[in-house]
Structures are given as C-alpha cells and as structure tokens.
Amino acid sequence: MAKIIEGIKPTRMELIALKRRRGIAQKGDKILSDKRDVLVSAFFERIKNREALRDSMLLTLEKAYESLIEAEMVIGEDRIRI
C-alpha cells in the first residue's frame, strides 16, 4: 500500500501539480548549476589576470627602483630625497 504524505491529497490533479512543481524545481536547479559554472570560470579567469598584472607591476617597480638608484648615484641621495 502506498504511503500517504501529510498535506498531499491522493488525486490525479495533485499528481499533476506535483509533477509541475518538480519540473520547475529541476529547471531552477539547472539554472543555478549553470550560473555556478560561469562564476567559477570567471573566478579562475580573474586569477589568471591578477597574476599577469602582478608580474607587470613587479617589472615596473624594479625599473623604478633601478632608476632611483641611478639617480642617487648621479645627483646624490640628499637632492633626491627633497
């Protein structure tokens, strides 16, 4: 004998309504799953971009530091710090 769930009437109309709700829930789950996949993909893309930007920034800082040292040697440290 089938188990009767509390709050659900054992009628054909109730079965149709439950199937409709189940279909909507499955579509919602699919949409959320797709959205999660897109967000994870975007996250990893940003990580790649961050690494490239960091490397570029480090190169710029190295060049700036080398220029500062060269200027200190040519002009003098006292005149650079003003």
Q: Does the pTM of the predicted model rise above 0.85? A: no
% of residues, the chain, pLDDT over 70: 93
Task: Give the model's pLDDT for residue 2.
Answer: 60
Q: Distance between CA atoms of 65 and 58, rounded to whole angstroms? A: 10
Q: Are 2 and 10 in contact (CB under 8 A)?
A: yes
Kindly state the DSSP code that residue 3 receives in the 8-state scheme.
Answer: P
pLDDT, tens digit, 9 for 90 and up, residues 62-73: 999 999 999 888
Give mean pLDDT, residues 23-46: 96
Q: Is the pLDDT of residue 1 over 60?
A: no
